[in-house]
Amino acid sequence: MRACTIAAAAVALLAAGAASAQLYRWTDPSGRVHFTDTPPPPNARNVQKKQIAPAPSQPSKPAEPYVLQQARRNAPVTLYTGPGCDPCAAARKLLNDRGVPFKEVSVADEASASALQKAVGGGIVPAIIVGERSQMGFEQGTYHGLLDAAGYPKTGILPAQKPKAAAATPVSTRVPPRSAR
């Protein structure tokens, strides 16, 4: 019985040691300052003992595969969508199915319509920008071609993104040509 009690106490001490650590700061006889996790020698001066709590454990998110990191850095993807747009939903689904990380811009006001015009030279949604290349409208083969050329994997790696919420008052998804302004 006594052996079980001693074993339990030893396990408790080990667990407590894992939960927090002690750090010692001390000065040796020649004046050098030391930081150790073991008690200093008897001739140490200015001994300071500190309790160090372990860093809180956070669930680690899975690392993004290197090929996806490279593609994302070299050719980021932006998808311009409009409210109630079925081709936009199909474009979003294609990107999600391939596991492509993308920024979605909902074209639901004049500012976002102007940003779309500036980005792709037109006002048709969906519009995708992959790196420096863009495509207005949705054509599955073209989207796959843009993503393949940019080095994005063909299979899904990341969880799907949710669609952006549209503004309360949608505007026309077509921007008039510059000559009509």
pLDDT in tens, 52-110: 777 666 666 667 788 888 999 999 999 999 999 999 999 999 999 988 999 999 999 99
168 located within any domain:
yes
Residues 47, 76 within the same domain: no
- C-alpha 77/C-alpha 59 separation (Å) is 27
What is the pTM for the complete model shown? Answer: 0.56
Residues 156, 91 within the same domain: yes
Q: In the chain, what's the furthest Cα-to-Cα distance?
A: 94
- C-alpha 116/C-alpha 120 separation (Å) is 6
Residues 48, 70 within the same domain: no
Report whether 2 contacts 33 (CB < 8 A). no
137 located within any domain:
yes
The tens digit of pLDDT for each residue in 100-149 reads 999 999 999 999 999 999 999 999 999 999 999 999 999 999 999 999 99
